[in-house]
Amino acid sequence: MWIPALFLILVVIGILVTYWQLTLTGLFIWALVAWKRHHTADTRSSYPRKPVQTRPVAKQVQTRPRPKPVQTRPEPTHSSKPAREIPALEYLPRWTADRRLEAGLEHAQWQRNFDNPAG
């Protein structure tokens, strides 16, 4: 009868010893980390730090942009000529003031016909 009670007492003592070992190990690790952090904060850093900027740096004065030189069209070379020649000037329409007026009247007439298909 006393053997199971003794066994139970030994198990409880073993659990308590294990608990205290884990607790002391955790406290030791916590103290080591806290000591390491405290001492590394006290030492000077090896990298140079930039000074704190107290006011903004003055901007450069904006000047008027310089005008770019006018580019002229380069002279056509033999390789850049079109395959077909440009039509003769008589063939090309000439947009004179009269032609513009006629085109405007033609368009107005077309618009009236389009808007009024019955008439």
pLDDT digits (tens, 9 = 90+) for 61-98: 888 888 888 777 767 676 666 666 776 666 666 777 78
Q: What pLDDT, on the 0 to 100 scale, is given for residue 12?
A: 94
Distance CA 91, CA 74 (A): 26
- Among the listed residues 30, 50, 48, the one whose alpha carbon sits nearest the alpha carbon of residue 38: 30
- pLDDT(9) > 60: yes
Contacts 24+ apart (CB under 8 A), 108-112: none
CB contact at 8 A, 23 and 29: no
* Tally of CA atoms within 13 A in the half-sphere of 91 that contains its CB: 4
pLDDT confidence bin for 36, thresholds 50/70/90: confident
pTM assigned to the model? 0.32
- pLDDT(49) > 80: no
